[in-house]
Structure 1
Amino acid sequence: MLPALPAAWAVSGSVSGVGGRGGFVADLRWKNGKVTRVTLKSVGGRDTTVVAGATSHRISLEPGQSVIPGDFA
């Protein structure tokens, strides 16, 4: 989920409000270059699939709902 993360930021960090396709917004936290937590919020989207490495999570939300689709640690 962080293919363009600069090496200087890889130790740890977070970002909020990243727009995603289909009407979703993501908040991400990472440590050692790997995502440790993701919160997805539907702005207007309904269904999406989150893929991280070999793991995928199918998400279905009503607009305004949010979900933490699993522990990526």
Structure 2
Amino acid sequence: MTPPTDDEETGVHCRLDELLAEREMTLTRLSEIVGVSIVNLSILKNDKARAVRFSTLIAICQALDCEIGDLLVRADR
């Protein structure tokens, strides 16, 4: 199996928008808490990220009080 190209879907969906809405938190505030730029969080939120550091995942999950499986799910095909 070949890795997806930049134009292909990764098969992973990031639920960051939904989790932020549930917690009434803005992307700007999350950026301040976790120390990740708004641009990079936006890339993750819009399912455009090609990779993400474990430390970033942990920081986001701590800030949102969720598990990694709440944040990242398999995308429906």
Which structure is higher in RCO with an 8 Å CA cutoff and minimum separation 6?
Answer: 2
Structure number having the greater strand percentage: 1
Asked if TM exceeds 0.5, the reply is no
